[in-house]
Amino acid sequence: MGRKPKARTVQAVSPSVDKPIPMDILAQTLALARWQRLVLTACFAIGATLLVTPVIDNLYVAYFFHMDTRMIPTFISTGLGVLVYGLGHWLLIGHVGEAPPPRRAALWYLLAGCFVLAFALVLVVIGVYTNVLRG
């Protein structure tokens, strides 16, 4: 005699499977083009080399200096930069045609690389201020 009540549909509420924000940033980084990840990794390696060069040079001059071995600090700093690049190549770039999986180590590499670049930038600004602007 009257209207039929509308049938209620039960919607299954599935729990949200959201990724944490850092892993989402890593996924976005891994989704970049290969050449962009390569440039990012190279920047991290150059930044790490720039940060350790003065430390290694000062230690070498203070404790180990000999005129015949004056290129050793350069080799050590460059070797460390190559290791940082190799680690980044394995974690962020991968082989041609394959996307590297999102690993927690890749996230740590990305965070450490950003910290290295930020710290190097701060040191450059401090150096410019103390040597040029105050000078």
Domain boundaries, the chain: 33-133
Alpha carbon 88 to its chain's center: 8
Which residues are within 8 A (CB) of 35 and not within 5 positions of it... i.e. 6 or more apart?
A: none
Please state, in angstroms and rounded to a whole number, the distance separating the CA atoms of residues 67 and 60: 11
Please state, in angstroms and rounded to a whole number, the distance separating the CA atoms of residues 85 and 92: 10
The secondary structure of residue 103, as a DSSP letter, is -
Mean pLDDT to the nearest integer, 64-78: 91
Mean pLDDT to the nearest integer, 107-132: 92
Q: Would you say 99 and 27 are in contact if contact means Cβ atoms under 8 Å apart?
A: no
> Tokens 């890749």 label which residue?
106
Whether the per-residue pLDDT at 16 is higher than 60: the answer is no
3-state secondary structure of 45: helix
- Name the least confident of 23-32, 37-46, 76-85, 108-117: 23-32
Whether the per-residue pLDDT at 93 is higher than 60: the answer is yes
For the chain, the average pLDDT equals 87
The total of other beta-carbon atoms located within 10 Å of residue 56's CB is: 17
Give me the phi and psi of 59, to 5 degrees please.
-65, -40
Q: Look at residue 2 in the predicted model and tell me its pLDDT.
A: 65
